[in-house]
Structure 1
């Protein structure tokens, strides 16, 4: 039997382990954490990611407890507001997604709890295929693609958490200031909040208390100020936004990259987690149909182009949303596109996925920030 070793037990690694047929190959999942992390905010499940979750068999379970979204207002200075529709999607709590994926992994998959520092470490020796699902700081990418493939730090810090209370529906959305953005969206436990701004903190081991202090020091929209004041460091994540370098291929020999290891992007389009799911089910389906080398070539052709376009678009969105000198022009264009004044979105037929009534979301989740 072919032996496939997956390095990394986050979204991408668990999704692949859940998608591969253990009757046809021996699968080993290596993850340094003994259990999925419990801290985390919402992830936007766009239609392609929803299809991936259906393939794995867990979409209905997640949709039953997750709020749905179909609009995404952007609010700039002086009440300039742009209402825009998005494909109807659900916002899944990261912990719910990881738990569901973990439960979907067949019992026949070998699980190894350990840190991988080199690819000549056991249990990777002798594998027919090593899959790097180990995030933006991927050891698999560094080993197979060299030092030039190391993650690149942006000047932007992302701080996010879950507020246990629910804010007024009219306050949901993404707020663009001068060099800083804030977002409020629904979470099954309350309100998903996030902010991004330029900071010298990090890039590793960011002091959460210092990050919250910096986030609160800038002029904050009233709806966000109350949430920031109540944020608890122990339930807050603060990370420098890192991106993966542009690679000529996601496959190198018998190594292949999925998720953030392949294409970590800025979180501004909310697509990182969903693309990791799509990577996993795509690779699994190709491995079921083709010999390994052919499957890797087909996977690279299909996924590299699609994710590269998203990474470029997401980086452009970050530059626009965090504009400083060009902020007045940006806000004027927003006003022209969406109308001026403090017009607020009304809730027409707000609902949750699964048919239960709920508020309609006005924000996307921060989904691409590397975990």
Structure 2
């Protein structure tokens, strides 16, 4: 059997392990933090990601615990809607539910090793067979095989998100674009509310405290829409995830001799298109199907061909959306143009 070692037991790593042929590959996953996330958040599953979940055989279970998106208004800071498009075919699912169901789909003969992998030695088990970097935007695999120029890039923004145990307030759903700040309110599973926010911040970059970021968010959005203020009043540090936003550089290739990258390790992008988890699933299922049916070298070349350009375009589009949504000096012009487009 051919050895495959997956560094990272998140969405991409679990999906890849679940999709690989158990009779052909000897698979080991290294998980830094096994178990479910301690702070619950929600993810948007676009149709392509749902197709990948169907291949893995867990789409019915995902639908059973997910929430269907309806209208998703784009609003100004005061809450007035510019446009209210109907969002079809998108499913919101808790990250914890997704991790749980992906973990259950992983075959029992896949070995799981707990603990953080800090470096990739030249010899030993990690150097044998194919090494898969599914270890996020700060990937140790990317650093080892692509060098220091491939280190993650820090953006000037902080992101915070959480889930409230109440339904979305009437006529409150959508994204609120202010001056250098963004706030989102969407349905979550079980009739709850998922919320998220971004703004420029000097906090961190590591060890960003949820209580401090939440306090700053309340100051930033104090003059904003009542629905936004209401969400922030109900949010608690214990139910809020706060992080600085990092991105991965353009690598030119997701493949090196003996190694391949998937998910955020390959193309970590800003969250403004809601495609990070989706593309991680598509990466993993695409790579698994190719490895299952072709020689390893050919499979990796085809994976690179299929995934590199698409994710590069999404990274560029997401970055452009970030600049537009979080515009500061250009915010008045942006708002006028959006009002004109709405008319």
Do the aligned partners of 1:12 and 1:276 also contact (CA within 8 Å) in 2? yes
TM-score normalised to the size of structure 1? 0.89
What is the deviation of 1:121? Answer: 7.9
2:217 counterpart residue number: 215
Do the aligned partners of 1:245 and 1:263 also contact (CA within 8 Å) in 2? yes
1:267-322: CA deviation from partner (whole Å, max 9, x where unpaired): 00000000000000000011011111111111011101000000100000010001
Instruction: Please point out which of 261, 276, 291 is paired with 1:287.
Output: 291
Secondary structure of 2:121's counterpart equals coil
Could you tell me how far apart the structure 2 residues matched to 1:80 and 1:168 are? 15
2:110 counterpart residue number: 109
2:89 counterpart residue number: 88
Secondary structure of 1:170's counterpart equals coil
What is the deviation of 1:77? Answer: 4.4
Quickly say closer, same or farther: Cα 1:126–1:316, change in 2 above 3 A.
closer
Could you tell me how far apart the structure 2 residues matched to 1:120 and 1:244 are? 23
Do the aligned partners of 2:290 and 2:299 also contact (CA within 8 Å) in 1? yes
1:177 counterpart residue number: 178
Could you tell me how far apart the structure 2 residues matched to 1:47 and 1:124 are? 37
Do the aligned partners of 1:157 and 1:239 also contact (CA within 8 Å) in 2? yes
Secondary structure of 2:53's counterpart equals helix
What is the deviation of 1:227? Answer: 1.5
Q: How many residues align?
A: 339
Larger RCO: 1 or 2 (CA < 8 Å, sep 6+): 1
1:73-103: CA deviation from partner (whole Å, max 9, x where unpaired): 1001462421224441100110000000000
Could you tell me how far apart the structure 1 residues matched to 2:81 and 2:59 are? 36
RMSD: 1.4
2:314 counterpart residue number: 310
266-275 or 207-216, larger mean C-alpha shift:
207-216
Secondary structure of 1:296's counterpart equals helix
Could you tell me how far apart the structure 1 residues matched to 2:342 and 2:163 are? 29
110-119 or 160-169, larger mean C-alpha shift:
160-169
Paired residues for 1:225-240 under 5 Å: 225-240=229-244
Could you tell me how far apart the structure 1 residues matched to 2:340 and 2:85 are? 14
212-221 or 134-143, larger mean C-alpha shift:
212-221
Please identify runs of 4+ aligned residues in structure 1 that moved more than 4 A.
none
What is the deviation of 1:124? Answer: 3.6
1:12 counterpart residue number: 12
What is the deviation of 1:122? Answer: 8.3
Return 5+ residue gaps in structure 2 as ranges.
none
Quickly say closer, same or farther: Cα 1:288–1:275, change in 2 above 3 A.
same
217-226 or 103-112, larger mean C-alpha shift:
217-226
